[in-house]
Structure 1
Amino acid sequence: MSTLSDLVSRHSDLGPADVEWLHLLVGDWQLISDLAFADLVLWLPTRTGDYVAVAQARPSTGATVHYDDIVGSSAPDGQRPQLERALDEVRIQRSREPRWFGTYAVREEAVPVVHGGRPIAVVARQTNLGGARTPSRLELNYVESADDLVAMISRGEFPSPNAPTGPRRGAPRVGDGLIRLNSEGEVLYASPNALSCFHRFGVLGSLVGRSLAEVTTELLEESTTMDESLPLVVMGRAPWRTDVEARGVCLSLRAVPLTEHGQRVGAVLLCRDVSELRRRERELITKDATIREIHHRVKNNLQTVAALLRLQARRMTSAEAREALFEAMRRVTTIAQVHETLSQALDETVDFDTLVDRSLRLAADVASAGASVRTVRTGTFGMVPAEDATALALVLTELVTNAVEHGFAGGRTGTVEIIAERTGSHLRSVVADDGVGLPADATGPMTGLGTQIVGTLIRNELRGRIDWTARPGGGTQVVLEVDLRERKLGRDGV
């Protein structure tokens, strides 16, 4: 399905500011749809004099009119005159008689969308009358609030450009609780769900006729950290969202100021009890901090082990034993660097490029024993899951060390290049050097401890394959191909 921007650019010549205004409207009009118990369709006048639907919203509080998506379709002939009058007169047009959609009647209203003092589109408000009954007090207040908001659309006062655009967990919706305020911040009406929210917060009795700011302030504890925007929200002065917490209860509040020709005449306040949601978020934050602390302590312990191996190696008289201990120290240090990176991350993934640049350069310097061998990385490894990071880091460290020790023996100089090609979860990595190359009688990789470790990790941990071949132009190249574990989704689904 085409996006709103695509449809607008295809059918009209609206400028970027007008398109952004339509995006703001569509991003916030679910509130109006729920309050009005009505479908909303955004009709855009086209260059050819037609009207095309570029966005659509269905109410969660009542029966829908359009069971199928109509975005991208043209306005029916019976509806077009009403849309044209709304656009020409810049005034809300209400049909005298309902229009029939098959077996049910629909009450229609056309609202001009005004931006910068001129109409740029029309919102059709369509209410399914199939289940019509005597409205309750709650429904009457819902519809009155919706009427105020659509009138603001026709005057270019809604949506508010100052409203927050970033998502926030626990944002309240109409059914969670609604409060109507007058211009002084006094409660005109509170829905049953809203009253329940504030009763759990500690409010006794009815809210009607009371200043919501005073009621909320009385319940806040002296030691409570208060959001600076709270007074503006509870008085309905700013189109913001905030949380208020006291006595173990947390309410999410969102204010939608109501204006008339620039003068604030009241506000709609949505509220939701998010106590359990905030408690779970705090638990997750605590768990994240605990996991990072564990990685930090593991890193410290591994560095201690590496230091002990270094001390022991220096006391060895056997050159072979001393070299074996230094190699063990290098491997432990590589694992420690993975845990250090994990201790600084917010999730269980590793920025492998940073890790590779640091650890492989160190491995080459140690293995070259004073010779001038440089390492170059090409491409990107990206974010690697923690389950694969340790094994992959060890494999690459062993391959670079092996390339330096065998390819540049005797003080030769040269370059070791690490090439990374990442496609989704598939990783192809090449470790190539311009050293002496493989022995003439070699039929595969060497059989030393390092290559045995590499083979075991490739088969058992990374579930991949590895090939040693001669590098064109001289030297050796090792090609590693693995399918990394899929990255787990975060708490927000990303």
Structure 2
Amino acid sequence: MPTLNEVLRSSEALSAADTDWIHLLVEDWQVLSDLSFGDLILWVHTDRGWTAAAHVRPTTGPMVFVEDLVGTICDAERGAWIDEAERAGATVPAPHSQRMGDMLTREEAVPVVRAGAVVAVLTRHINLSRVADPSELERTYTALADAMSRMIAAGEWPSPSAPTGLRRGSPRVGDGVIHLDAEGIVLYVSPNAHSALRRLGHDGPVVGAVLAQIITDQLQEGDQVDESLALVTLGRAAWRAEAATDRATMTLKAIPLTERRRRVGAFVLVRDVTELRRRESEMISKDATIREIHHRVKNNLQTVAALLRLQARRVDDGAGRTALLDAVRRVSTIALVHETLSSGFDETVSFDDVAVRGLRAVVELATSEHTIESAVHGTFGRMRAEDATSVAMIISELVQNAAEHGLAAHGGRIVVTAERGNEGGEDILRVSIEDDGEGLPQGFRIRRAGLGTRIVTSLVHDLRGTIRWDDVEPRGTRVRFSARLRPLSRSADVAR
């Protein structure tokens, strides 16, 4: 099945502005489908004829089409009716009701107009067997849907000024609808919208009252007020707003209704998002607490490193002082990971910055009379905190070894290269650390290596990886290790 973009690209008649207008329509047409209690299909001209570019079904009633029609070509009978809507530039009902098995449907074609020209045609398909005697809610919704259809045919909807990408909890038709006149007075309120207003704190009549007054009466002095709230509750702009009291939180979305560019009313979608905002607040508080913990751990580790550094100064040159300075470096490496976690919003680390900073720190500490250059190639990507700590320790030890033993006599260059890949569904990190120093000592054996090498092999084993040391021609050492990283999502880790 083709996508909307693919169908639009196949239509030579559409300009870039026309395509943007159609995308704007489809972005918000679920509202029209729900108010219509029917399916909507968007048709555009292609070299094969009228082609279905998009299809949406209602959430407020039974659908008409079980199969998605996107990509299908309109038949001759329906095509003639759509052609008539395009020529007339106005909504055209189907010549007669359509029967689909046991279901009787009513259909109409609505031209989609932009800048005075028809760029597509939208068809509405309504299941007539839904309800024999419509309720006030259904009559109101149908009237609002008809008004929206007339706005589409007049090029007055969708509204380019309507904002997108706001916080979660945008209201839908099923959440609640309030119909306003041109002055913002409530003409109709759906049961769900009525309940939302009650939870917000309003206990008086709603129909006949000014919605803006109802909402503002519930706000207390000192409450933070959304700057767009007044325009939304009066139905004067196609914007969204949020109203919060000590009892509840409500999101609102206004759709002004116009005739010949003159506003004649509006309807406002409302949704009680109290529990949603409460959970978001808890998550924000939890995230802030976790970041504060990482910040304090980082501070404590830096304090430990400072104490070890002070102790090292009191020890005569020799193995004891070297051991203390190695401990300072290791503690500082772990602190660097926690510092990165304290500035993020989850328990994962973008390791590239950690690698660069850690490499520079080790090289600067190791450099004495001879210059050592360093570089990082490739990308480490994101990884879980526990993996980041181990990888940072491995790299720190290997770089320290290269600087202290391979390059101590004459300086040189250390290059760290990283590569992420996938093997058998597992995330694999491969790292190479290469220097142009003295090379491996004669008779090098891991079993006889020092503490740093034993730490490295232990950490690589914990990461279910492998490690190998090799000489490099004409001179130098290359250490390559791999690590099987945990999934970034903890749920995925549990599933394994």
Alignment partners' CA distance in 1, 2:199 and 2:490: 34
Q: Which residue of 2 aligns with 1:448?
A: 450
Alignment partners' CA distance in 2, 1:292 and 1:247: 28
Q: Which residue of 1 aligns with 2:236?
A: 237
Out of 134-143 and 446-455, give the one that drifted further: 446-455
Amino acid at match of 2:179: R
Written as runs of structure 1 = structure 2, the 5 A alignment for 1:138-153 is 138-153=137-152
Secondary structure of 1:370's partner? coil
- Relative distance call for 1:445 and 1:24 in structure 2 (3 A) is farther
Is the counterpart of residue 351 in structure 1 residue 353 in structure 2?
Answer: no
Q: Which residue of 1 aligns with 2:417?
A: 419
TM-score of the superposition, structure 1-length normalised?
A: 0.96
Q: Which residue of 2 aligns with 1:325?
A: 324
Q: Which residue of 2 aligns with 1:473?
A: 474
Written as runs of structure 1 = structure 2, the 5 A alignment for 1:245-284 is 245-284=244-283
- Relative distance call for 1:446 and 1:4 in structure 2 (3 A) is farther
Q: How far apart are 1:167 and its partner, in Å? A: 4.4
Secondary structure of 1:79's partner? helix
Amino acid at match of 1:449: L
Alignment partners' CA distance in 2, 1:242 and 1:370: 64
Q: Which residue of 2 aligns with 1:369?
A: 368
Spell out, residue by residue over 1:387-445, the C-alpha distance to the aligned partner (whole angstroms, 9 max, x if none): 211111000000100111121132x1210000011236321111011111113433558
Q: How far apart are 1:206 and its partner, in Å? A: 2.1
Amino acid at match of 1:140: R
1:429 pairs, out of 408, 428, 431, with 431
CA contact (8 A) 1:444 1:468 kept: no
Q: Which residue of 2 aligns with 1:208?
A: 207
Question: Percent same amino acid at aligned positions?
Answer: 48
- Relative distance call for 1:227 and 1:40 in structure 2 (3 A) is same
CA contact (8 A) 1:395 1:457 kept: yes
Out of 21-30 and 96-105, give the one that drifted further: 96-105
Is the counterpart of residue 37 in structure 1 residue 40 in structure 2?
Answer: no
Unaligned runs of 5+ in 1: none
Alignment partners' CA distance in 1, 2:484 and 2:434: 21
Amino acid at match of 2:18: D
Spell out, residue by residue over 1:318-347, the C-alpha distance to the aligned partner (whole angstroms, 9 max, x if none): 511000000001000000111111111111
Written as runs of structure 1 = structure 2, the 5 A alignment for 1:47-126 is 47-48=47-48, 50-126=49-125
Alignment partners' CA distance in 2, 1:209 and 1:340: 58
Q: After TM superposition, which residue ranges in structure 1, 4 or more long, deviate above 3 angstroms?
A: 440-446
Amino acid at match of 1:7: V
Spell out, residue by residue over 1:168-190, the C-alpha distance to the aligned partner (whole angstroms, 9 max, x if none): 21111111110000110000000
CA contact (8 A) 1:368 1:408 kept: no
Secondary structure of 2:298's partner? helix
Amino acid at match of 1:427: L
Secondary structure of 2:164's partner? coil
- Relative distance call for 1:294 and 1:397 in structure 2 (3 A) is same
Alignment partners' CA distance in 1, 2:232 and 2:329: 58
Q: Which residue of 2 aligns with 1:24?
A: 24
CA contact (8 A) 2:33 2:56 kept: yes
Considering only aligned residues, what root-mean-square deviation do their CA atoms show, in Å?
1.5
Q: How far apart are 1:115 and its partner, in Å? A: 0.7
Out of 479-488 and 300-309, give the one that drifted further: 479-488
Alignment partners' CA distance in 1, 2:474 and 2:448: 21
Alignment partners' CA distance in 2, 1:443 and 1:298: 36
Alignment partners' CA distance in 2, 1:236 and 1:480: 63
Secondary structure of 1:78's partner? helix
- Relative distance call for 1:319 and 1:488 in structure 2 (3 A) is same
Q: How far apart are 1:349 and its partner, in Å? A: 1.4
Alignment partners' CA distance in 2, 1:484 and 1:162: 45
Amino acid at match of 1:19: T
